[in-house]
Amino acid sequence: MSIYCIGRNYAEHAAELGNPVPAEPVVFLKSTAALRPLAGGITAFPGETFHHEAELVVRLGRSVPFGAEAGWEAVDALALGIDLTRREVQARLKEKGLPWTTAKSFAGSALVGDFVPLARFEDPEHIEFGLSVNGEPRQHGDTRAMLFRVPALLAYLASLHPLAPGDLIYTGTPKGVGPLQHGDSFQLEFTQLGMVFTGRL
Ligand code: MG
């Protein structure tokens, strides 16, 4: 199983971090050991303030051969998650042209909520989701604003190596990223389904 993450997949978020809009998907990885449920679990760096990146998380239900085109038929479920980020560490590494791994992959940095079967979504190309922290709205996403939609992401990832059932893809964050620290409570929401998932860092 692999955890793929997409960076700069919403133009307004790329702009808020001062990044150019990419011509092809920006891909990075998290370790499977970074996964954590929303409600509780170990999160590294207890004294640190992180950035939250609320994202739609796609789970593959079947394998995609190397080099194959793939679409929604390869996906079996969707969840909401947080790509927890050590923003200052990432900024320092970016400045030096070094990999971001230690800013993105550490215990508890891949928060993921309950998976909802794909069939529950009327139109998987139009999913609205939100994040609030300590009761305050922070992020609202609409997947129609993705620069690279899910089928394009699957084909791109499969051009690198085959994909396997259970692989996860964090599909990028909409604008509104901000601080999240230990003890904060948060809510992720599939707006159209009225489904709310609560958690605490
Ligand atoms: Mg992200």
DSSP letter, residue 22: P
pLDDT higher than 90, residue 116: yes
Query: Which residues does residue 83 pair with via DSSP β-bridges, in sequence order?
Result: 110
pLDDT of 55-107, one tens digit each? 999 999 999 999 999 999 999 999 999 999 999 999 999 999 999 999 999 99
Report the pLDDT averaged over residues 188-198. Answer: 98
Give the per-residue pLDDT at 57: 98
**Cα–ligand 1 centroid distance for 120 (angstroms):** 24
Largest CA distance in the chain: 44
**Cα–ligand 1 centroid distance for 75 (angstroms):** 20
User: What's the mean pLDDT when you consider all of the chain?
Assistant: 96
What whole-number distance in Å separates Cα of residue 55 and Cα of residue 131? 9
**Cα–ligand 1 centroid distance for 23 (angstroms):** 17
What whole-number distance in Å separates Cα of residue 22 and Cα of residue 185? 33
pLDDT interval class at 154 (50, 70, 90): very high
Q: 77: Cβ–Cβ under 8 A, 6 or more apart, which residues? A: 59, 61, 115, 116, 117, 118
**Cα–ligand 1 centroid distance for 192 (angstroms):** 22
**Cα–ligand 1 centroid distance for 153 (angstroms):** 14
